[in-house]
Structure 1
Amino acid sequence: MKKLKETKISGISLPLYAFFVAVIIVVTLLGKLPLDMVGLTLLLVTLGHLLYFIGEKLPIMNSYLGGGSVFTLIGATLLSFFHIVPSNVIGAVSNFMGGKFGFLDFYIAALICGSILGMNRNLLVKASKKFIPIALITMVIGFFSVGLVGMLIGNGFADSVMYVSMPMMSGGMGAGITPLSQIYAAGLAHGNQAAIFSQLAPAVTFGNILAIIGALSIAKVFNKSKYNGHGTLVAATKEELAKPKIKLDAQQIGTGMLFAFALLMAGDILNKFFPNIHQYAFMIIIVFILKATNTVPKDLILSIIMCK
């Protein structure tokens, strides 16, 4: 009993978390869950952290199958597949994340800016020299491998590349297949973004699960190998790894958010002239150039890190 009282999920005591879950279950069963920012934020954050917590505690899952990260993906998929979460709620979540509400744009803009600008400049340049060539080589190999296997099983090279290889390489749902499905819909004669998204989703979900499990397996097998960096991609000094000291300030957070959103809009402007390249890609390029050229003042960088 004492252990249960001491248990916390994302820093929240178990009784309080149980209250959150109970409220969500009751309000959903009554059909009264607000399908707006308040209701959907409570639903997504509470269920997401709960599934992650369970995945981290399951014996085999936490050691060999990716732990909380994979269990969250599997759990969310099962909740949707078995209609445990009502279809109208799932539709509202889709709109909230990537539809008319565009929460993902809000989140991704801050994430991209904060992550890249918050890195040490020297470390970023060193990592890029090693990472970019390997990333390009693996993408090319993956592209043609999936296409050739697709041909062998009768699925076709182009179809396999478009609906399996590309979504897997895109990374995920938000900044991955959401813009990718938009690009496909705009380029195809009778493209339907929602229908294309549903075709891309299984590949990216299954691909991410296998990637996490595969990376974990390789790390365990080569645990004592000299080639195992144990999470360190490139050798770095203490100065390069040091994180800036941050004191939260509401005004600075607001400034950082405005700057991040302005860079996303800059990506939208470039996308207007080069529609085949998504605005997220342009934004990443812009932020990378700003960081590499040391253009952004230190105070502004701290503001952007705060809003991440």
Structure 2
Amino acid sequence: MMEFRIGIIPLPIHLILFALIAGFALTGKVPGEISMAIAVLAFFGFSCAELGKRLPLVRNIGAAAIFATFIPSALTYYHVLPKPILTLTTEFTKQTNFLYLFIASIIVGSILSMDRRVLIRGFVKIFVPLACGTVLAMIVGTAVGAALGLGAQHTFLYLVVPIMAGGVGEGAIPLSMGYSQILHLPQGEMFAQVLPPVMLGSLTAIILSGALDMLGKRKPHLTGNGRLQEGETDEMNTASEEITGHVDVTHVAGAGITAITLYLLGLMCARLFGLPAPVSMLFIAVLIKLARAVSPQLQDGAFVVYKFFSTAVTYPLLFAIGVAMTPWDKLIAAFTLANVITIVVTVTTLMGTGYVVARFMKMYPIDTAIVNACHSGQGGTGDVAILTAANRMQLMPFAQIATRIGGAIVITLVLIWLSHVS
């Protein structure tokens, strides 16, 4: 039974945690120490995510992340969660700012652990259709939103940009932080507005990628079945998502403190130049990776750090954000017909442009369009869902570049522009 898990929590431990949390809540005195906070966030975060993972159909479109964020927000709004639990979660989230640690570990760990050759090849092969698709999707999406009465600036900032920001951890969270700092508005409200387009954009990309797979079966000359260009025989295989071999714990710890150091460096850049720290940190990490400034052992340690935080911290963090920083009423207000139409048009334009540009560059249009689709996906989870729907998991390295690097570029340029016009 200890190997039957709710998220990462063994079932017997999950039941014990439930009894303990309920007991503390009934006494009205929930300890405020970090151990209790970790227990509460892990229990509720993984419980909500597990519910999303076990529902048919929707589990393939990122339901775990949706449930881990939306359910706590609704439970808070309707006063279902006990007040001591709400108080503990809110105070811990706001006082510790542990989401900054999460962001640092995810961004630095993922970039440093990427294959440098994949990073270089990805830029060379996919940059043009990705850039063209991004620009055209921004223009068309903003125009459609404005025509539907949403307003050009609102459509651009809160619908179009979040779609291509790179998911939740690497996209919606740092984007909402940047908006909050520049516009002097609560981050929770910003996150509540930028999160729905991330989810709906990923769903649209999954559906369209599945349709492209069907088109590829009917017209084989349009697809390389996982290859971007004709004649390629040395494509990188699917990036490993498992930790293989022995990784010294000192390298893991070293990678962790490296992530924190780069974040602090980004924080200093924010004070000197006004650019949000997570974005500065990401580009510093990319430059370090391209300059071969980290050892292979440290790269392995960075991958372990990335995997730990993405596996063990994402859903507890989303629960904390849902409770402390995501107003349910504002979240629901974002799901309107005009928003949905704008999001679908934006993703379709992004993929369609990649398809057309690829033909001029002698690339396989279907595979290129699918990589472009990952630019509008829900981070790593969205990449997996999109490539699974398209039966092209071989494109994962390029999908990661479209999601991480493409999202970082979009966030950086938009925040620079916003800081100058606001």
TM range (shorter): 0.7 to 0.9
C-alpha separation in 1, matches of 2:48 and 2:189: 25
Counterparts in 2 of 1:256 and 1:187: CA distance versus 1, 3 Å: closer
Shift of 1:257: 1.6
After TM superposition, the structure 1 = structure 2 runs for residues 153-302 of structure 1, keeping only pairs within 5 Å, are 153-171=148-166, 175-188=170-183, 191=184, 193-194=185-186, 197-226=187-216, 236-237=235-236, 245-275=244-274, 277-302=275-300
1:19 to 16, 27, 33: 16
Counterparts in 2 of 1:167 and 1:214: CA distance versus 1, 3 Å: closer
TM-score if structure 2 supplies the norm length? 0.59
Counterparts in 2 of 1:86 and 1:295: CA distance versus 1, 3 Å: same
Counterparts in 2 of 1:269 and 1:228: CA distance versus 1, 3 Å: farther
State the AA in 1 paired with 2:70.
I
C-alpha separation in 1, matches of 2:69 and 2:238: 36
State the AA in 1 paired with 2:287.
I
Question: Percent identical across equivalent pairs?
Answer: 23
Contact 2:107–2:170, Cα closer than 8 Å, also in 1: no
Counterparts in 2 of 1:143 and 1:130: CA distance versus 1, 3 Å: same
Q: Secondary structure at the match of 2:143?
A: helix
State the AA in 1 paired with 2:7.
S
Q: Count residues with an aligned counterpart.
A: 297
C-alpha separation in 1, matches of 2:27 and 2:100: 31
C-alpha separation in 1, matches of 2:162 and 2:237: 37
Structure 1 vs Structure 2 CA RMSD: 3.6
Which structure has more RCO (C-alpha within 8 Å, separation ≥ 6)?
2
Q: Secondary structure at the match of 1:144?
A: helix
Residue 37, structure 1, aligned to residue 27, structure 2: no
C-alpha separation in 2, matches of 1:39 and 1:19: 13
C-alpha separation in 2, matches of 1:240 and 1:207: 27
Q: Indicate the residue corresponding to 2:76 in structure 1.
A: 80
C-alpha separation in 1, matches of 2:123 and 2:32: 42
C-alpha separation in 2, matches of 1:258 and 1:7: 33
Contact 1:123–1:240, Cα closer than 8 Å, also in 2: no
Structure 2 runs not aligned, ≥5 long:
217-221, 307-422
Contact 1:256–1:304, Cα closer than 8 Å, also in 2: yes
Q: Secondary structure at the match of 2:106?
A: helix
* Cα offsets for 1:122-146 (capped at 9, x unmatched): 1121223345444444443443345
Contact 1:167–1:203, Cα closer than 8 Å, also in 2: no
Counterparts in 2 of 1:254 and 1:168: CA distance versus 1, 3 Å: same
